[in-house]
Structure 1
Amino acid sequence: MGAIELYARHTPDFAAKLAHAQALLQASANEHAGSIVQATSLGAEDMVLTDLIARNGIQIAVGTLETGMLHDETVALIGRIEARYGLKLEVYRPVAESVVHFVQRNGDKAMYQSIELRKQCCGIRKLEPLSRMLKGRSAWVTGLRREQSANRGEVPFSEDDDKGLVKLNPLADWTWNDVWHYIATYDVPYNPLHDQFYPSIGCAPCTRAIAVGEDFRAGRWWWEDEKAKECGLHVTEEQPAVSMIGARA
């Protein structure tokens, strides 16, 4: 069974959640005209948001981080999105020199050696490119949901991030069933790894499939303590998640 067959379920309040998410995206696009971007991880939630933006003609740019360590299936989604929606994605990559120096110093399996090294890798491959994506902008859109993990259980629809930008989470109250019901209803393209029990997909060395009954994010950094399982994109300065050089959360 694929992800749609496994997860897509209509819930009684789905229509209300959908209307709210769409209204929040439109209002935010109006308020931050020309200065707002969806930072898509190319996961299921973000594919829903990109579809909502494109389908409704909402003026929000769409950008992604191509870390150099993504699965081929994830990278292929960039072209699929552009072809499907006629959008030109902003693609941000790590500074090549920083990656080379890190690998030369620590090896290409540094992420398994310590949490500190893994987070340094995230800083170089994700956080620094994100800082370039957000430079000069006043707001950004994410696919965070409260159901994703205990650390995200109180995700608001809108908040100020630690750099003073407005961070919008239009799907904060959506369930995994809601996400896949939308994907099924609107024939949204998605990563085929989701059909192989990868609910949360990051860089290839740091992602595995999960088993029945495992937590949603159990396949991310599975060798680490549960409290460490963030790359730094969605934590505040009061919750440090990364040691990095020249990067921002």
Structure 2
Amino acid sequence: MAQTIATLDIPSLAAELTSQSPQKILERSLNLFDNIAISFSGAEDVVLIDMAHRLNKAVKVFSLDTGRLHPETYQFIDRVRKHYGIAIDILFPDATQVEEMVSTKGLFSFYEDGHNECCGIRKVAPLRRKLSTLDAWITGQRQDQNPATRGKVPVVQADTAFSAGDRTLVKFNPLSNWTSADVWMYIRSYEVPYNSLHDRGFVSIGCEPCTRATLPNQHEREGRWWWEDATKKECGLHAINQPS
């Protein structure tokens, strides 16, 4: 039976789930909410899609098309769609906002004044529109992806960044306690589809101009917005990650 958000005790739910497996957390989230979706872009997210598939749980999936993704990423999205026989809701930025930014500042302004404006238009605004239609969402965030900004990612939280008014949006992070090695062990064990860019040294994959391969022993987020300070390597999709 679907949960009424107003009656959901998030701290108690977090205490219940914090030591559970990703599969158990995912199953609980899908049992609690009907109006819930997985945010899909990378390896962690397709692991969650695979887990839901193996749990025989129908789940909504959406993905952000910024207009600046690698060709391999577009191919990956379509491969996942076909592999699992699912519909993927593709979200696009507002064309007028993109045109105004590009005509005023050019195609690569983020190298000069930071990535926040571009990400705000191409990522955050479309995500906000989508999340306004949901009661809860599921992400592939892990604590070890970026200790500076994600080191305290809880398994479930009230999403204060995208809640509006008296409406509380609930956010589940089933892979919070997993490492990159755990993710790739799962992918190899179950032959889960993945972005072919991973075979070329890309670990964390975003837009093409803002992503590059990493060298051995570099942290995965060093390949994102490499011209900026390490504490700023977020695009705004996951603003604050503190336990509820």
Match of 2:12?
none
What TM-score results when the alignment is normalised by the length of structure 2? 0.85
How many residues are matched?
A: 218
Match of 1:4?
none
Matches within 5 A, 1:147-186: 147-150=144-147, 151-162=149-160, 163=163, 164-186=168-190
User: Shift of the alpha carbon at 1:18?
Assistant: 11
Give the Cα–Cα distance (whole angstroms) in 2 for the partners of residues 20 and 237 of structure 1. 20
Match of 2:135?
138
Matched position secondary structure for 2:223? coil
User: Shift of the alpha carbon at 1:154?
Assistant: 1.3
CA RMSD of aligned residues (A): 1.8
Matched position secondary structure for 2:26? helix
Q: Which moved more, 1:167-176 or 1:23-32?
A: 23-32
Question: How far does the alpha carbon of each residue in 1:94-116 deviate from its partner, in whole angstroms, 9 at most, with x for none?
Answer: 1111111110011001110112x
Give the Cα–Cα distance (whole angstroms) in 2 for the partners of residues 174 and 55 of structure 1. 19
Q: 1:79 to 1:26 in 2, by over 3 A?
A: same
Give the Cα–Cα distance (whole angstroms) in 2 for the partners of residues 140 and 38 of structure 1. 6
Matched position secondary structure for 1:217? helix
| 1:52 counterpart = 2:56 | no
Match of 1:241?
none
Give the Cα–Cα distance (whole angstroms) in 2 for the partners of residues 177 and 82 of structure 1. 25
Greater RCO structure (CA 8 Å; 6+ sep): 1
Matches within 5 A, 1:28-107: 28-33=29-34, 35-41=35-41, 43-107=42-106
User: Shift of the alpha carbon at 1:25?
Assistant: 1.3
Match of 1:121?
118
What TM-score results when the alignment is normalised by the length of structure 1? 0.84
Give the Cα–Cα distance (whole angstroms) in 2 for the partners of residues 200 and 52 of structure 1. 21
User: Shift of the alpha carbon at 1:60?
Assistant: 2.1
Question: How far does the alpha carbon of each residue in 1:22-80 deviate from its partner, in whole angstroms, 9 at most, with x for none?
Answer: 121121112111x1010112x11111111111222223211000110000000111211
The sequence identity of aligned pairs, in percent, is 44
